[in-house]
Structure 1
Amino acid sequence: MRYHQTFVLLLSSIVVSSLTVGTGLPTRASSRDASIGKWIDAIRAVGHQGAGHEAAQKALQNLHRCGPDALVPILKGIRGANPLAANWLLNAFEVIADREVRGGRGLPADELERFLLDRDNAPRARRIAFEWLAKVDPSVIDRLIPGMLLDPSPEFRRDAVARLMADADRLRGQDQLDRAVALYRKALTGATDQKQVEALVKRLKELGQKVDLQRHFGFIVDWQIIGPFDNTDRKGFAAVYPPEKEVNLRASYPGKLGPVRWVPIHTDDPYGIVNIAKSVAPYKGAVMYLTAEFVSRESRPVEFRLGTPNAVKVWLNGKLLFAREEYHRGMFLDQFRVPAQLQAGRNRILIKLCQNEQTEPWAQRYEFQFRVCDPSGLAVLSAERDGAASSP
């Protein structure tokens, strides 16, 4: 009888253990993981107007007390988080990482490296993982950066470009010019930072090489333009003129100074600047429309990046994507970044560019530049243009 009771107890213990494993009932470790996830979610829910701050502060304090097992989940939580929440999560990561390193316990290097090599993770989180890994193991710089020339993170690309430029400079100093040119051109394929691009172009030109900056950045340089329409007293920005209702390149409409029709306009400017004041006329109190067709081989997300000192609206396939009524606040590369979704095949881009009536010398610029790129800044070319032979 005693033997039977012992056997039953042992069998019950085995059954309970198997049920715990089979049904996923929380063990101590999984319970801890769930708590970490809950604290991360509380921080991700924090708002700019005070919403969720108290819960987020408590969650942050709890994360600060966690061990290295929380580091990668914290980094994963940064993806899609608002800027405030992302900053709080980065703070939690750095507090834990600093404590572990100072205590001589190290970091979960393999997990962090897998995380940073996954290009789907948030660039900012990948970068912080890289920087902490480099602190404890500087060899990761030489091991990983050379493979990041086309990484979606601009920071990693800048590092990779800088290394190639340094290698090319050494080869140039050794009079190995062909090899230097090859490395400069390779570096250029991943360069989107304007200063790096300009430095590479300078070196290549010194070695007798040509660089097509328009193509490199993905500037649209051929447009159809129509106008001027009336922008007296800035009324034109809100006004709906015929090109906003339909883009009919054969049509003619009443304009501010008489009938207007679509005409082609091209720019040779290396940075794709279309100067309406010089190429058409220095109109004042005017609205001009420009349109271009962009052919995409597939449906895909892109960014429209534009710069202008004038009031502007941008449509894609009839949908308004961007509007900014501001005049003469300066202009620079990638001044405005507009997420867009290209459809497979032909896409119609329409720009409305408004000039006011100011007469000061600094208020005479009537121009813009417009490029299409992926979210990391690498050029996306229209399929028709991409097929054309051109040097990079």
Structure 2
Amino acid sequence: MKRSSFLFCLIFLFSSLMTVWADDVEQQIVQIKQVQKEGQGNLTASQAVQKLSKSNASALIPILSSFKDANPIAVNWLRGAFEAIAANAIKQKTLPTQKLEKFIQDKSQNPRARRLAYETLIKVDPQAADRIIPGMLNDASVTLRRDAVQRLIDEAKSLEKAGKKDQAKKVYQQALSGATDSDQVKVIVKPLRGLGDKIDLQKHFGFLTDWMIVGPFDNRDKKGYDTVYSPEDKIDFSSTLEGKEGKVKWKSVNTKDDYGIFDIAKSISPYKGAVMYCVADFYSPQEQSLEIRLGTPNAWKIWVNGKLLFARNEYHRGMVVDQYSVPVKFKPGKNVILLKLCQNEQTDSWAQRYQFQLRIAHPSGIGVLSQKAETTTQLSP
């Protein structure tokens, strides 16, 4: 009886301590997540991180789970605590590998947290990559998906080198279905086209290629960026507007470029000190949260359904695919996208680009096509 009572007391004490430790970990996480910009909450968060970093391996999954609704600053603090605990757990061989793998497979979790879990897991179990990565081809985690795409690229190259062109083609096609990074897409598309495949990269990425455009309006001395010209008040494609160089009208334009680049300077005119307005419709089958991804070397503002989403008053920073990502909630049916592009008056050779590329994508980077009715042939405001 005495032995049984002693064991019962030990179990009860251990359970009580575990509850206290769990509560303490949760409290420290809450304190870290309260950190804000400009140093708000830094002292409290710093103290919480120091304490949390001394926790045992049981704190790893709670920390990862807390990434989901944490701001970027808090995520960096939490990551530091996680890495300190994980390093110690690896030394002591107490890393919860099965729980980490289960967390990685849980696609409802934060993509950065899942990637961190993956990088930690393969330090002690390199074979985990063979179990996990092949299933990540269409994953919400950009980095995990990129690894899956790269595996297929490497496999396809080996098949191609061995003369197995038909098999290589199928693997390249599979890789393309999950590829969103332009460098990987280029590596995939070149051999596929060489093997006779017709690839529509505009559709793959979800680029908007049909636009209505009007201008130029005055941007001398960069005053046009903040000037509210007529298209910002009302979009009427039948109207004649007063522009920088006289009367201007809306015109329909499109691009055949693989990456949806519309070159205003080449297609219309290399206006200097000018503002141009571009409009495109995006049709959504239901309300959905997506991203507008824009590339441009010019200053810009963007509206959806009359609401200003984002703006950047900066010139000649260069241009790449997905240079800017703007979250947007589209309503069911037609959504009107208005883009204001501003070119300054610099005459340097490197300052002459007046162009943009714009696509619609899931936060994961997968392109989304406008589901515009086939019978609709003209944009409407």
Same-fold call, TM cutoff 0.5: yes
Q: Does 2:172 correspond to 1:180?
A: no
Q: Does 2:216 correspond to 1:205?
A: no
Q: Does 2:50 correspond to 1:82?
A: no
- Find 2:218's aligned residue among 205, 230, 250: 230
d(CA) in 2 for partners of 1:187, 1:370: 23
Unaligned runs of 5+ in 1: 1-20, 388-392
Alignment correspondent of 2:32: 43
Superposition deviation, residue 171 in structure 1: 1.9
Alignment correspondent of 2:109: 121
Counterpart residue type for residue 136 of structure 2: M
d(CA) in 2 for partners of 1:385, 1:142: 43
Superposition deviation, residue 352 in structure 1: 0.7
Alignment correspondent of 1:99: 88
- Superposed, 1:25-40 pairs within 5 Å as 27-40=16-29
d(CA) in 1 for partners of 2:374, 2:131: 33
Q: Does 2:297 correspond to 1:309?
A: yes
Counterpart residue type for residue 267 of structure 1: T
Counterpart residue type for residue 67 of structure 1: N
Identity of aligned residues (%): 50
What is the Cα-based RMSD across aligned positions, in Å? 1.9
- Superposed, 1:124-139 pairs within 5 Å as 124-139=112-127
1:209-228 Cα deviation digits (max 9, x unpaired): 22111111111111001111
Aligned residues: 363
Q: Does 2:351 correspond to 1:345?
A: no
TM-score by length of 2: 0.91
User: Tell me, what secondary structure is at the counterpart of 2:283?
Assistant: strand
1:296-320 Cα deviation digits (max 9, x unpaired): 1111111111111111110000000
d(CA) in 2 for partners of 1:386, 1:69: 55
User: Tell me, what secondary structure is at the counterpart of 2:276?
Assistant: strand
Superposition deviation, residue 385 in structure 1: 8.1
d(CA) in 1 for partners of 2:245, 2:50: 66
d(CA) in 1 for partners of 2:30, 2:267: 54
Alignment correspondent of 1:258: 246
d(CA) in 2 for partners of 1:137, 1:385: 50
Change (3 A) 1:184 1:33: same
- Find 2:313's aligned residue among 317, 320, 325: 325
Alignment correspondent of 1:277: 265
226-235 vs 375-384, which deviates more?
Answer: 226-235
User: Tell me, what secondary structure is at the counterpart of 2:282?
Assistant: strand
Alignment correspondent of 2:228: 240
113-122 vs 343-352, which deviates more?
Answer: 113-122
Unaligned runs of 5+ in 2: 1-11, 376-381
1:12-39 Cα deviation digits (max 9, x unpaired): xxxxxxxxx9xxxx94322221111000
d(CA) in 2 for partners of 1:172, 1:95: 44
- Find 2:182's aligned residue among 194, 202, 226: 194
- Superposed, 1:358-369 pairs within 5 Å as 358-369=346-357
d(CA) in 1 for partners of 2:362, 2:205: 11
Alignment correspondent of 1:10: none
Counterpart residue type for residue 222 of structure 1: D
Change (3 A) 1:386 1:187: farther
Q: Does 2:345 correspond to 1:357?
A: yes
